[in-house]
């Protein structure tokens, strides 16, 4: 039960963090996650550099946060004794880990759309490396 509470707290904190850092002028990172990469690319066609940079910064923050979450979950999986790797706790952690990895991949794909647009506009992408 204590483990469930910890996961609940982490999930709530992640949602708050993602919600708090995701607002941009034309939508949010969370809105983008409900759209295909192609739809995101079409949406940002009319964005100016400032709007694109703001969104890219928000993506970078979200990606760093999700990466830290993945590392935390992976560390918990690693700490599970071999005799308990097939138990319920391990299964829950492994599912959470896979879901977090998939979400991170989706974040990165959409982030790249913003970076490609910025690059096409002649913006130096040095500050956007992960």
Q: What is the pLDDT of residues 42-74, one digit of tens each?
A: 999 999 999 999 999 999 999 999 999 999 999
Name the residue ranges covered by the structural domains of the chain.
Answer: 2-128
Q: What is the pLDDT of residues 70-90, one digit of tens each?
A: 999 999 999 999 888 889 999
pLDDT of residue 103: 96
Q: What is the pLDDT of residues 90-99, one digit of tens each?
A: 999 999 999 9
The overall longest dimension of the chain from CA atoms, in Å, is: 55
């Amino acid at each position: 039960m204590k483990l469930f509470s910890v996961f609940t707290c982490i999930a709530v904190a992640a949602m708050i963090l993602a919600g708090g850092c995701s607002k941009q002028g034309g939508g949010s990172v969370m809105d983008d996650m409900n759209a295909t990469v192609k739809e995101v690319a079409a949406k940002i066609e009319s964005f100016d550099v400032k709007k694109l940079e703001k969104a890219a910064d928000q993506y970078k923050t979200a990606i760093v946060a999700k990466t830290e979450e993945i590392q935390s979950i992976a560390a918990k999986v690693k700490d599970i004794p071999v005799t308990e790797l097939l138990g319920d706790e391990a299964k829950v952690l492994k599912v959470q880990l896979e879901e977090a990895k998939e979400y991170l991949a989706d974040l990165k794909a959409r982030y790249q759309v913003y970076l490609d647009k910025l690059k096409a506009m002649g913006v130096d992408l040095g500050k956007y490396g992960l």
